[in-house]
Amino acid sequence: MTAKRSGGRSAPRKASSGRLKGAGRLRAAVPVELGERSYSIELGHDWLTTIGRRAADRLGAERIALVTVPPVARRYAPMLTRGLESRGARVRRIVVPDGDASKNLGQLGKLYDAFLEHGLDRGSAVVTLGGGVAGDLGGFAAASFLRGIPFVQVPTTVLAMADASIGGKTGVNLPQGKNLVGAFHQPRGVYIDVATLRSLPLRERAAGAAELIKAAAIWDADFFDWLEPRIEAFLALDLAVVLPALERACAIKAEVVERDEREGGLRRLLNFGHTLAHAIEKHARYRGILHGEAVSIGMVFAAERSEALGFAPAGTAARLTALLERARLPIRPPQRPRSAYLSAMSVDKKKQGGKIHFVVLDRIGAASTAALRPQDILPPGWSA
Ligand X SMILES: NC(=O)c1ccc[n+]([C@@H]2O[C@H](COP(=O)([O-])OP(=O)(O)OC[C@H]3O[C@@H](n4cnc5c(N)ncnc54)[C@H](O)[C@@H]3O)[C@@H](O)[C@H]2O)c1
Residue 106 CB contacts under 8 Å (≥ 6 apart), including other chains: none
Among candidate residues 278, 282, 305, 349, the one labeled active-site is 278
Q: Check if the beta carbon of residue 242 is closer than 8 Å to that of residue 158.
A: no
Residue 197: CB minimum distance to ligand X, A = 6
267 classed as catalytic: yes
274 classed as catalytic: yes
Nearest 10 degrees: Cα torsion 311, 315, 317, 321: -170
Residue 160 as a binder of ligand X (CB under 6 A): the answer is yes
Q: Interface residues for ligand X in 109-138 (CB under 6 A)?
A: 130-134, 136
Q: Check if the beta carbon of residue 365 is closer than 8 Å to that of residue 8.
A: no
Residue 273 as a binder of ligand X (CB under 6 A): the answer is no
Q: Interface residues for ligand X in 168-187 (CB under 6 A)?
A: 169, 179
Residue 261 as a binder of ligand X (CB under 6 A): the answer is no
Q: Give the residue, chosen from 69, 256, 297, 378, that forms a contact with ligand X under the rule CB under 6 A.
A: 69
Q: Check if the beta carbon of residue 69 is closer than 8 Å to that of residue 189.
A: no
Question: CA–CA separation, 131 vs 243, rounded Å?
Answer: 18
Question: CA–CA separation, 211 vs 225, rounded Å?
Answer: 16
Residue 103 as a binder of ligand X (CB under 6 A): the answer is yes
Distances (CA, A) of 2 to 5, 282, 357: 9, 27, 12
13 classed as catalytic: no
Q: Report the candidate in 214, 210, 169, 160 with the shortest Cα–Cα distance to residue 190.
A: 160
Question: CA–CA separation, 278 vs 257, rounded Å?
Answer: 22
Helix H or strand E segment including 240:
helix 239-259
Closer to ligand X by CB, 178 or 326: give it. Answer: 178
253 classed as catalytic: yes
Q: Give the residue, chosen from 71, 233, 237, 363, that forms a contact with ligand X under the rule CB under 6 A.
A: 71
Q: Residue 24: what residue type? A: G
Binding-site size, ligand X (CB under 6 A):
28
Residue 188: CB minimum distance to ligand X, A = 16
Among candidate residues 267, 268, 305, 349, the one labeled active-site is 267
Closer to ligand X by CB, 89 or 197: give it. Answer: 197
Q: Check if the beta carbon of residue 114 is closer than 8 Å to that of residue 145.
A: no
211 classed as catalytic: yes
291 classed as catalytic: yes
Burial track 178-203 (b if 16+ CB lie within 10 A, e otherwise): eeebbebbbbbbbbbbbbbbeebeee
Q: Report the candidate in 134, 124, 188, 184 with the shortest Cα–Cα distance to residue 157.
A: 134
Residue 315: CB minimum distance to ligand X, A = 29
The C-alpha R_g of the chain, in whole angstroms, comes to: 20
Residue 257 as a binder of ligand X (CB under 6 A): the answer is no
Among candidate residues 9, 93, 253, 305, the one labeled active-site is 253
Closer to ligand X by CB, 163 or 247: give it. Answer: 163
- Sequential DSSP letters for 199-229: GS-HHHHHHHHHHHHHHHHHH-HHHHHHHGG
Residue 73 as a binder of ligand X (CB under 6 A): the answer is no
271 classed as catalytic: yes
Closer to ligand X by CB, 4 or 262: give it. Answer: 262
Q: Interface residues for ligand X in 197-226 (CB under 6 A)?
A: 197, 199-200, 204
Residue 104 as a binder of ligand X (CB under 6 A): the answer is no
Question: CA–CA separation, 67 vs 91, rounded Å?
Answer: 10
263 classed as catalytic: yes
Residue 365 as a binder of ligand X (CB under 6 A): the answer is no
The region that residue 252 occupies, defined by phi over 0 for left and psi between -120 and 50 for alpha, beta otherwise, is alpha
147 classed as catalytic: yes
14 classed as catalytic: no
Q: Give the residue, chosen from 94, 127, 152, 159, that forms a contact with ligand X under the rule CB under 6 A.
A: 159
Q: Report the candidate in 131, 141, 130, 76 with the shortest Cα–Cα distance to residue 107.
A: 141
Closer to ligand X by CB, 131 or 298: give it. Answer: 131
Among the listed ranges 157-165, 225-233, 295-303, 308-316, the one in contact with ligand X (CB under 6 A) is 157-165
Residue 179: CB minimum distance to ligand X, A = 6
> Residue of minimal CB distance from ligand X?
132
Q: Which residues are catalytic?
A: 147, 169, 211, 253, 263, 267, 271, 274, 278, 291
Interface positions with ligand X (CB under 6 A): 69, 71-72, 98-100, 103, 130-134, 136, 156-157, 159-160, 163-164, 167, 169, 179, 196-197, 199-200, 204, 291
